[in-house]
Amino acid sequence: MRALTYHGAKDVRVDTVPDPVLQHEQDIVLRVTATAICGSDLHLYRGKVPGMETGDILGHEFMGIVEEVGTGVTKVKRGDRVVIPFVIACGDCYFCSRTLYSACETTNPGRGMSLNKKVMRSPAGLFGFSHLYGGYAGGQAEYVRVPMANTGPLKIPDALTDAQVLFLSDILPTGYQAVVNAEVGPGRTLAIFGAGPVGLMAAACARMLGAERIFMIDHHPYRLKFAAETYGVETINFDDVDDPAQAIIEATQFRGVDATIDAIGFEAKGSGLETMLTNLKIEGSSGVALRWAIAATRRGGIVSVPGVYAGHIHGFLFGDAFDQGLTFRMGQTHMQRYMPELLERIGEGQLKPEVIVSHHLNLEDAVRGYEMFDKKQDDCRKVVMTPGTAAAPLKASPDLSTTAVPPGI
Ligand SMILES: NC(=O)c1ccc[n+]([C@@H]2O[C@H](COP(=O)([O-])OP(=O)(O)OC[C@H]3O[C@@H](n4cnc5c(N)ncnc54)[C@H](O)[C@@H]3O)[C@@H](O)[C@H]2O)c1
Ligand SMILES: [Zn+2]
Ligand SMILES: [Zn+2]
């Protein structure tokens, strides 16, 4: 089969590789009909995540048709159309039984990214996300083996298109968990740092839950413009405004917002020193976005962090967080907890995640897709790919990709 494989930093290739096979009784093999490139793939693509090996298949946002079924699989059958969460969870360990699926303690033979690990159980295995997370082959491929198929796959009604539901695999539940963690609701104020796909999904979910005022911070005007037009956010470009946190504080009667969301993670731009130290591997993460988020949050507020962090940050102002009495919530998304509810909301028209897609490509063009998404070329917001040269091109719902969506969706 054809698949997008890793060969080193900024070197990914579409190769012919062996087809996946069933390995355990709860496995299925999925024929992928749509797959996307995530901001987390960019961390891998840029060579920033250890534990990648030559030939590893990338991709953790994907959906398709069940092709083969292991003997222990009861939840899905051959021919079912399903979306797969990027988190591989068993469904009945200590953490899964508490719906903390991304902490599943049975699916990851790797060690995760924690530096100060002690002898602690690893977090869940993830598709296409390095051998620290189990070395599972990803879904930017024609076929993929999906373990734990009684817990992960979510069946999709025929009436919904691939484009409408694909982001249930990652960024939609991630944006949703971020706003749930931020306790967003009617009358609440929020600042979202990062207008990438995760930030946009957070904005969509925050609107859906009735947030009163949403600030969004980035430095790509085309991303900020889209967010303002689609979700009615108030934008701040940090290339133009030296201190976005101060701007938010001043716009909220010198209090700050009820909650902030860091939808950027450890490669945040804005501090030349930290970018340099991170590149030299002296610093684990750039802390600039977190510092802005902490500063912009009102006393007693919440900082919610879906952006991925790794290792230490010297400039993390814990004393400021203490002085402000802040709550922090973060981590990989507990996907399986949120997917059924979000599928319903898509079906009811409350969420239209497909509107953020800017590029539909064939999997054969995946290398170009990575380049565009990485360098923000051609106003790239989100790349969706269709495997198989004979496959029909992925279609968005009628008109949605070109129709302006009113704020609130
Ligand atoms: N927690 C999870 O389960 C989960 C799931 C999916 C993605 N993620 C993570 O979420 C993050 C965002 O993903 P994405 O797909 O939106 O990626 P992306 O790279 O497309 O978007 C990040 C955006 O942040 C902006 N940015 C950079 N520095 C900034 C700063 N200092 N202030 C404001 N904006 C800044 C960039 O210009 C970019 O538009 C990544 O770290 C990704 O790994 C986490
Ligand atoms: Zn992702
Ligand atoms: Zn489990």
Summarised one tens digit per residue, pLDDT across range 166-186 is 999 999 999 999 999 999 999
217-222-223 Cα angle (round to 5): 45
- Residue 73 in this model has a pLDDT that exceeds 70: yes
* Domain range 2-167+336-386, its CATH number among 3.90.198.10, 3.30.230.10, 3.90.180.10, 3.40.50.970: 3.90.180.10
Determine the average pLDDT of the residues in 326-335.
98
Angle between helices 221-231 and 197-208 (to 10 degrees): 20
CATH 3.40.50.720 in the chain, residues?
171-330
- Per residue in 231-254, pLDDT (tens digit) is 999 999 999 999 999 999 999 999
Q: Write the residue with the smallest CA distance to atom 43 of ligand 1.
A: 40
By C-alpha distance, which of 313, 271, 306 is closest to 288? 271
Instruction: Report the atom number in ligand 1 closest to the C-alpha of 87.
Output: 3
pTM confidence score: 0.94
Span 131-150, average pLDDT:
98
CA distance 372 to 12: 13
Residues contacting ligand 1 via CB (< 6 Å): 38-40, 42-43, 170-171, 174, 193-199, 217-220, 223, 238, 263-265, 268-270, 288-289, 306-308, 332-333
Query: In the prediction, which pLDDT does 397 show?
Result: 40
Helix (H) or strand (E) holding 29: strand 28-36
Q: How does pLDDT run across 341-383, given as a tens digit for each residue?
A: 999 999 999 999 999 999 999 999 999 999 999 999 999 999 9
* Residue 124 pLDDT greater than 60, yes or no: yes
Superfamily of domain 171-330: NAD(P)-binding Rossmann-like Domain (3.40.50.720)
pLDDT band at 408 (very low <50, low <70, confident <90, very high): very low
> Of the residues 205, 243, 264, which should be mutated to test ligand 1's pocket, given the most ligand atoms within 8 Å of the CB?
264
Q: For residue 108, which ligand has an atom nearest its CA?
A: 3
DSSP string for 20-74: P---STT-EEEEEEEEE--HHHHHHHTT-SS---TTPBP--EEEEEEEEE-TT--
**Average of pLDDT values for 97-123?**
92
Which segment of 116-120, 190-194, 295-299, 308-312 scores lowest on mean pLDDT?
116-120
Which regions of the chain carry the CATH code 3.90.180.10? 2-167+336-386
Name the residue among 340, 337, 391, 336 with its Cα closest to residue 146: 336
> Could you tell me the distance, in angstroms and rounded to a whole number, from the CA of residue 293 to the centre of ligand 1?
14
Looking at the predicted structure, is the pLDDT value of residue 101 above 60? yes
